[in-house]
Amino acid sequence: MEKVSQIFENARKEGRKYLLEPEAKAVCMEYGIPVTKFRMAKNVEETTRFAEETGYPVVLKIVSPDVIHKFDVGGVVLNLKSSQEVRDAYNKVMANVKKHKPDAKIVGVLVQEMAPPSTEIIVGATKDPQFGPALMFGLGGIFVEVLKDVSFRIAPITKSDAREMITEVKGYPILRGYRGEPPSDINAIVEVLLNTSRLVMDHPEIRELDLNPILVYEKGAKTVDARIILE
């Protein structure tokens, strides 16, 4: 809890309400929410070294307080398999960001393990003016964006609330496995929901939280992108 408060305090001191991805992921880790392994690199040499140490394939992402949607500005490159690919991607990310947002302050490049493709889910938290923090669950992509197929509960939630949130979305059968796809680890999703509930209850200074997406496997789950906005 203290480490989380420190991260928030540090962002506030720098006049930021949006946490950087490594900050948001560090907060998640404090609450037992699984995230992809990551390291912050300051230059191309560090980037290639960290990629080597992480093990291929890796993902590179821009880290900037001025870039909220990293993918949209060409600030995310996936599935890099060699030191040369990493070097090229580093230059590409820098060039893309300079083109789309010339005055963006660049903090560094996040090197992370590439999570194997799987079913994507989204867990979010917003604040209801009357009832306080509300949790959201949905399947990733078109399920949330087009079909608005999501469930909500006011925090804090119990284990059975978490289970209900998962089973009541229309896309639930996808999590149970279909067309030979393996079933997703429902218990791992329950844990993420419970831990997110604990996090927002402990920290009312969180205005908005967005774990989007979380990849869910037969065993376990991994958050590949986390956003936290403070009051």
Q: What is the DSSP letter of 27?
A: H
Using CA atoms, how far apart are residues 210 and 178, in angstroms rounded to an integer?
Answer: 27
Q: Which is nearer to ligand ADP, 113 or 161 (CB)?
A: 113
To the nearest whole angstrom, how small is the minimum distance from the Cβ of residue 8 to ligand ADP? 20
Q: Is 132 left (phi over 0), alpha (psi -120 to 50) or beta?
A: left
Q: Spell out the residues 6+ positions from residue 57 whose beta carbon is closer than 8 angstroms to its own.
A: 78, 79, 80, 81, 114
Residues binding ligand ADP (CB under 6 A)? 36, 59, 61, 69-72, 76, 78, 112, 114-115, 213, 224-225
Does 161 help bind Mg ion (rule: CB under 5 A)? no
Compute how many residues bind Mg ion; rule: CB under 5 A: 2
To the nearest whole angstrom, how small is the minimum distance from the Cβ of residue 221 to ligand ADP? 12
- The two tokens of residue 218 are 């037969």
To the nearest whole angstrom, how small is the minimum distance from the Cβ of residue 178 to ligand ADP? 20
To the nearest whole angstrom, how small is the minimum distance from the Cβ of residue 61 to ligand ADP? 6
Choose the one of Mg ion, ligand ADP, none that binds residue 203, judging by a C-beta under 5 to 8 angstroms depending on kind: none
Using CA atoms, how far apart are residues 60 and 145, in angstroms rounded to an integer?
Answer: 25
- When binding is defined by CB under 5 A, the residue of 225, 226, 229, 230 that contacts Mg ion is 225
Choose the one of Mg ion, ligand ADP, none that binds residue 94, judging by a C-beta under 5 to 8 angstroms depending on kind: none
Using CA atoms, how far apart are residues 161 and 65, in angstroms rounded to an integer?
Answer: 35
